[in-house]
């Protein structure tokens, strides 16, 4: 039944705004915590990155030795040709059957012409290639390329995130000084004046206490 005056409505707005302001501050505090966590994660990431670089060098050196040795082997005249060719002719049908079975069961989506393509491939393949583990070397090189691509991709993403986060955390919100003594909030208060009292109005001793 009571009539609420415009001043009282305004005072209620002030009280409500105070609550919202606290919530915004809580959100900002949460952001700062997340910022710290991101900083920690980034430090760990940097450490890991340097380990990765060492491991990459080690791996690439080993890959290079493998490639070089394979080249030398390929350049040397093929030996035991007859034995290998005979075994290869017996190996091919089994290999084709195993591969088609695997492809139909596991790979599912794919070209129905895989059987024909496979036969052609096997006919063109030299048993020498198998003897020197050429397929393993090819897989190794392919993995090597994939890993490089993967790391580049992840690095690219991290640098995009880093740019966005730098902009975000460079905001004045995260760097400003304590407030200067002024109070521009437009509403008056009739219930809790202490809330609006600017800090500089408190005597020093009370602040200390």
d(CA 124, CA 126): 7
For the bound state, the minimum distance from the C-beta of residue 24 to other proteins, rounded and expressed in Å, comes to 6
At 157, list the tokens.
């993403």
Helices (H) and strands (E) in the chain, counts: 7, 0
* For other proteins, the closer CB: 3 or 205: 3
Helix, strand, coil percent content, the chain, rounded in steps of 5: 80, 0, 20
Binding mask 1-40 for other proteins (x = CB under 8 A): x--x----xx-xxxxxxxxxxxxxx-xxxxxx-x--xx--
Q: How far apart are CA 39 and CA 156, in angstroms?
A: 18
Give 122's contacts (C-beta < 8 A, 6+ positions apart). 92, 95, 96
Residues 96-135 touching other proteins, rule: CB under 8 A, are 96, 98-99, 102-103, 106-107, 110-111, 114, 117-118, 120-122, 125, 127, 130-133, 135
Residues numbered 80-99 forming contacts with other proteins, rule: CB under 8 A: 80, 83-84, 87-88, 90-91, 94-96, 98-99
Which one of 7, 145, 152, 198 is in contact with other proteins (CB under 8 A)?
198
Q: How far is the CB of 207 from other proteins (least distance, A)?
A: 15
Nearer to other proteins, 171 or 202 (CB): 171
Q: List the alpha helices (DSSP H) in 76-110.
A: 81-102
Q: Which positions from 150 through 189 interact with other proteins, judged by CB under 8 A? A: 150-151, 153-154, 157-158, 160-161, 164-165, 167-168, 171-173, 176, 178-180, 182-187
- Which of 7, 206 has the CB closer to other proteins? 7
Q: Which is nearer to other proteins, 175 or 205 (CB)?
A: 175
In angstroms, the CA 88 to CA 105 distance is 25
Q: CA dist 186 to 9, 130, 168, 191, Å?
A: 13, 84, 29, 16
| 3-state class (DSSP) for residue 159 | helix
Tell me whether residue 80 or residue 202 sits nearer to other proteins (CB atom): 80
Nearer to other proteins, 109 or 205 (CB): 109
């Amino acid at each position: 039944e009571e009539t609420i005056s415009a001043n009282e409505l305004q005072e209620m707005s002030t009280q409500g705004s105070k609550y919202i302001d606290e919530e915004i501050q809580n959100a900002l505090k949460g952001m700062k915590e997340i910022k710290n966590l991101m900083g920690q994660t980034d430090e760990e990431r940097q450490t890991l990155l340097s380990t990765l670089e060492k491991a990459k060098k080690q791996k690439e050196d080993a890959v290079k030795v493998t490639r070089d040795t394979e080249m030398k082997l390929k350049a040397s005249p093929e030996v035991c040709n007859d034995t290998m060719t005979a075994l290869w002719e017996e190996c091919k049908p089994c290999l084709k059957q195993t591969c088609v079975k695997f492809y139909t069961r596991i790979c599912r989506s794919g070209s129905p012409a895989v059987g024909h393509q496979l036969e052609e491939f096997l006919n063109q393949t030299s048993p020498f290639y198998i003897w020197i583990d050429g397929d393993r070397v090819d897989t190794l090189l392919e993995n090597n390329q994939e890993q490089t691509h993967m790391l580049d991709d992840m690095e690219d993403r991290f640098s995009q995130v880093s740019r966005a986060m730098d902009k975000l955390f460079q905001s004045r919100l995260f760097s400003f000084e304590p407030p200067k003594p002024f109070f521009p909030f437009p509403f008056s208060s009739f219930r809790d004046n202490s809330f609006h009292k600017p800090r500089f109005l408190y005597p020093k001793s009370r602040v200390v206490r």
